[in-house]
Amino acid sequence: MEALPAELTMDILSRLPVKTIIRCKLVCKKWRNFVSDSFFVNLHLSRSPLVLMIQEKDKYSYFPGILKWMEIEHKVDHHDLRYDPLMSLDLNMISVFQNSLINQMGSVNGFICLWQFSPKLKFSDTYICNPVTREIMILPRQQQNYKQGFSTVAYGFGVTSLTVEYKVVRIFKSSRPSVLEADVYTLGTGQWRSLGPVPYRLYGSRGEFLNDRFHWIVYKKKDSPERICTFDLTSETFQLFPSPPSETIDESYRPSQSLAVLKGCLCKSDSYGSQFSLWVMKEYGIKKSWHKEVVITHSISHGLGRPYLKAISLTEGLKDGSILLVSMGKLWAFYPRSKTIEEIEMIDYFASVISYRPSFLRLRNFESESFNQKTLGLVYGLPNSYLQTGLVNGPARPGPNPVFGRSNPGLSPRTGNRSGTRAEPGKPGLNPKPGPETGPNPAGTRAGNRSEPGRNPSPTQPGFDQTRV
C-alpha cells in the first residue's frame, strides 16, 4: 500500500477540528511532524474558522477569569454557539496570573495579547499566548511600569502583511497631564520602543485591526470632523481616518460608540436613545463608502432593555449577513432580513468577547539571537491538562469541566519541556522573520536559563509546584 503524498495528508489534516488535529499527532511520527510543518500551519490558518474567545471574570475581585472557547455553528436559518470547556483556558490556574487582573487586548493569527495588572504587587505586564500550542510569552516589563500600567488606556495587536512582523502597541497616560504616549514592541526584538506622544485623544481599549492598521475612536477635534484614528503598523504613525457621520446627539456620551471588523469591513456602531445603528465602510479608506447597514429600533429590540450593544462579529452563515452582538451579559444575533433579534447565549455580565482564529503558529519561533534571556522571551508551556483533544476513543468524560482539576495545573517554565509537542525537532512552523533560521532550541536549555523566580508573584500557590513538573 503506497503512502499518501505529504501534501495530500496535510491538506486533509488541515480541515479537521483543532482538537482532532492535536489528537492526530499520535497517529504516527510523520503526522506529529506535520502539525509543526510551516506548510501545514499556514494551510490550516488559511481555513481555520473564527471562534469567539469570551473572557468571563468577576469585575470586583482579582481573579484572572476564564477564556471560554465558543465555536459558531452555522445552521440554515440560525447560528448556534457551542462552548468547548476542553479548549478553553482557565487563567485562574496559571500561577503567574494569580491575584491579578487579566484583559484580552486583541488577537491575530491565533495569538492572543493579554494585559496583566496586579494592584497588590504593583506591576503590569503584557503576554502573548497561543491557546492551541499551549505557549505563553511574557514581554519585557516597561520602565515606570506600575503607574503607567494602571493608567493604560489602549492596546493594539496585529501583524504586518508584507514583512510578517507581529507588533504590540501600548498607549498610556504619560506623566504630563492629558497627554497620551505610545510604545511599540515587535515580537522577537526583545525591546519596547517609544513612539512618543499620541496626537489624538482616543478611547476604547482594543484597537481594531484591519489592513495593517489599528483603529480607535477618538474625541472630536475642533479642526476635523473625523472620529477615528489609525495606527499604521509599517510606518508606525497615527493619523485621522475617514469616519461616518456621528449619530450620537450628546457627544459626551461616548461609551455608546464602538468599532468592529465585520466580514473584512471596518464598522462603527452607535447607540443613542433607544436606537442602535451600524455603519459599514464598504471600501476601505473611502469616506463615501460608509453605509448605514443596520438600524435596530426600540420596536425590534425591546427585549434587550436599553440597547447598549457592541457589534462584535458578523457571522457568515447567511447570505444577508446576520450580526452577533454583545449586550447586557448576553450574546444576540440580529437577522437583517427578518429584522429580528434573538438571544443566543448567556455570558457573564462583564465578559469581553473577541473573535479569534485558532492556529498552530508557534511563539517559540520568535526566539532569536537577539533575545536577551534575562529580561524577556520567557516562553512557558501552559499546563498540559487544560487542553484536551477529541475523545474519539471512548465516551465523553463525565462531569463538568474535568480538565482543570487534573494534576500539575500550575504554570511552570518547565512544564513545556516535558510536553513532547514543544521539544520536537524538525521543521519549525512559520518563520515570522525573514533571514537565517535559527534552529529550535534543544528543550533542556530553556528551563534552566529562563526561569526567573522574580517573575512569579506567588510560587507557593496551591497547584504550583515548580520542582514536580
Q: Which C-beta is closer to another protein: that of 16 or that of 50?
A: 16
Sole window of 58-66, 295-303, 368-376, 414-422 interacting with another protein (rule: CB under 8 A): 414-422
Cell numbers for 210, please give them: 484591519
Binding status of residue 12 toward another protein by CB under 8 A = yes
Residue 27 CB, nearest distance to another protein (Å)? 5
Q: Report which of 417, 424, 411 is spatially closest to residue 64, judged by C-alpha positions.
A: 411
Q: Which C-beta is closer to another protein: that of 75 or that of 176?
A: 75
Binding status of residue 317 toward another protein by CB under 8 A = no
Binding status of residue 2 toward another protein by CB under 8 A = yes
Q: Which C-beta is closer to another protein: that of 166 or that of 386?
A: 386
Give the total of residues touching another protein (CB under 8 A): 38
Binding status of residue 398 toward another protein by CB under 8 A = no
Residue selected from 264, 394, 395, 453 as contacting another protein according to rule CB under 8 A = 394
Residue 92 CB, nearest distance to another protein (Å)? 19
Q: Which C-beta is closer to another protein: that of 29 or that of 337?
A: 29
Q: Which C-beta is closer to another protein: that of 31 or that of 62?
A: 31
Q: Which C-beta is closer to another protein: that of 14 or that of 148?
A: 14
Residue 16 CB, nearest distance to another protein (Å)? 5
Residue selected from 141, 254, 357, 418 as contacting another protein according to rule CB under 8 A = 418
Residue selected from 255, 305, 405, 420 as contacting another protein according to rule CB under 8 A = 420
Binding characters for another protein, 21-60, by CB under 8 A (x = yes):
-xxx-xxxxxx-----------------------------
Q: Are 248 and 256 in contact (CB under 8 A)?
A: yes
Sole window of 11-19, 123-131, 155-163, 186-194 interacting with another protein (rule: CB under 8 A): 11-19
Strands across the sheet containing 79-90:
79-90, 66-74, 51-56, 352-356
Residue selected from 129, 403, 411, 443 as contacting another protein according to rule CB under 8 A = 403
Binding status of residue 199 toward another protein by CB under 8 A = no
What is d(CA 35, CA 44) in angstroms, rounded to the nearest whole number? Answer: 9
Binding status of residue 425 toward another protein by CB under 8 A = no
Q: Are 397 and 406 in contact (CB under 8 A)?
A: no
Residue 414 CB, nearest distance to another protein (Å)? 14
Residue selected from 143, 175, 178, 393 as contacting another protein according to rule CB under 8 A = 393
Binding status of residue 162 toward another protein by CB under 8 A = no
Residue selected from 33, 246, 248, 385 as contacting another protein according to rule CB under 8 A = 385
Q: Which C-beta is closer to another protein: that of 7 or that of 77?
A: 7
Residue selected from 389, 438, 451, 458 as contacting another protein according to rule CB under 8 A = 389
Q: What are φ and ψ of residue 74, in 5° steps?
A: -90, 120
What is d(CA 367, CA 414) in angstroms, rounded to the nearest whole number? Answer: 17
Residue 138 CB, nearest distance to another protein (Å)? 25
Residue 32 CB, nearest distance to another protein (Å)? 9
Residue selected from 121, 164, 286, 391 as contacting another protein according to rule CB under 8 A = 391
Binding interface with another protein (CB under 8 A): 1-5, 7-9, 11-13, 15-17, 20, 22-24, 26-31, 384-385, 388-394, 403, 406, 418-420
